[in-house]
Structure 1
Amino acid sequence: MNGLLSLALQGAGQSFWFPEQASTVAGRIDAVFYFILWVSIISFVGVVGVTLWFAWKYRARPGHSAVKTSSHDNTLEVTWTIIPTILVAGMFWVGFKGFLDLRNAPEGSYQVNVTAQKWSWEFQYPNGHLSPELHSWVGQPTRLLMTSTDVLHSLYIPSFRVKQDVVPGRYTSLWWEATKPGVYNLFCTEYCGDQHSAMITKCVVHESKEAFDAWMEKDADIIGNSPSLVAAGETLYNRKGCTQCHLTTAETLKGPGFLVLSKAWADGKALPLDGGGSVMPDENYVRESILVPGAKIRDGFKGVNMPAYQGRIKDDELGAISLYIQSLATDGN
């Protein structure tokens, strides 16, 4: 068993099956994988090899008659029962031990709250700051407390070897400790609708707590760090999940294109609503549509089910997004 685990640990450093290891648990996860892989390969080759050799050696040939053999052999049967049992028990033990370790985050872990929704991620830090990307720093155990606003999702960071379902109506969690700075892919691995493949973001690991704090200070003030409110609105459009459903052209994705709204706003034309009636596009309409999306649904877009941003966006950010939408009609579109 120890020899196989040593072989597995040697294989864990390879990159053929996996991306680079970037967390403290990655090597252990890879070791379990390689342990099971090598046991399976050796078992497969051994069983198939012996079967083929016996099939050739004892094949039917002219002049040979069948030899009477015993119906069973206790030693053989005990052997092929005990050895696989030991191997399977070993696989279970190393896997279960790793599972238990991954369930309990170390004391002093940095907690980030995660909200999954079709089709974007939102990460909330202890100071209340929201980000569409996950940030942490090297050497800091990080715990994610996760929930979903709509359907089942699953958060997966391949380089950290961590994955956990994100379930509506309840909390799930996972943790890791990054070992090297970098930008790593973060995926949803549970099919969640026709834009599932777009539910990808980044996990950014900073070199130090100081670098993380510097990012936080800059990122928390989008408006203050933007050259104009329109530019801030564009940044917010890209970061708040708007891009998953709304284009800045007249084309539709899941929701209406913002250019249609912008031109109607500039021309003072009302937009038809689902079920009859109309609405004049202005700052109040944009604000209401973001905070309470179901209040006034545009004609042809019933059933889109946009998530509500009440309590998740600031007033000055709403104003910046309104200005950005207004600017689309005057930017040569």
Structure 2
Amino acid sequence: MVTQDAGPTARQLASMAEDVCRHLLPKGHREGRYWQVGDVSGAPGRSLYVCLVGPRAGKWTDAATGEHGDLLDLIALNQGLSLRDAIREAQVFLRLPPTSRADEPTQRDTGTPASCRRLFAASQPVRGTLAARYLAGRGIVLVRAELALRFHPHCHRREAHGRVSLPALIAAVTNDNGQLRGLHRTWLAPDGGKALVDGPRRAMGQLAGYAVRLGAAGPVMAAGEGLETTLSLRMAFPRLPAVAALSAPHLSAWTFPAALRRLYVACDADAAGRWALAKLLRRGLDAGLEVLPLHPRLDDFNSDLMAFGLAELRDWIASQLAGRDAAAFLPGE
């Protein structure tokens, strides 16, 4: 009887996945189509992610441990319950009214590509703006225009007390053909740091399989998680096309361009980064691609840039590139 109840209960939970996550894992946050949190206990972090929409709604994976399952499994692990008791707990939850959300527009963050295009079109080039100051504070100076990056001086977001408008760095998430599918926003403080708000970074639109593209796709590319990490790599090797997938789950699921033959993975030095690399290695093998890791000295390449400077970062990355690539992608004179 318990097994018979498990499937229907799990499907009901999946249909309201975000409410379940907000109730069960309140220290997590929504990032695009996923709820991210530290682990099954609900600790802060981003190693565990739960898909909130689509055919895989309710499915979760912990990148640090390799554990995975549905929301019924997550309730059992989170509460330390047997399957029978987890079903009872879930059925109590399913009878509750939907969660009242103070940050309502987080759901609106799943907005259409058309709404993303409107916001991107209303933004301006980064040079000379607060966004350029923010990047400079991370050691990043854009020596050439990165067309995927823009600045919006009054980008809206919802807080518990209502809607506010803050300056933001805007990054376009595009598909292999360059069509805009989503956006990533980093809200900024007047001094050029991140805004002092809960969750200063948020994604909107469609992210799965797509990325922030820095340079045109080609046979040799690099891919990383964070925007600043990937921009740091681009500073060292501005001729090397790169993408920022914005999270370990999205990096692991990034759709390979048709022209790609060799992929360098800028690995974050944590469990999620190692998991994403392992998944890309397996996917690359299946696709007939050469996938090679690029390891930072610290936690990521932006930390390396800040700690050691551009020349040392370039030398460190060059030592991990295939010889022909180190020469081909060095900055021009």
> TM-score, with normalisation over the residues of structure 2?
0.28
* Larger helix share, 1 or 2: 1
- Larger Rg over CA atoms: 1
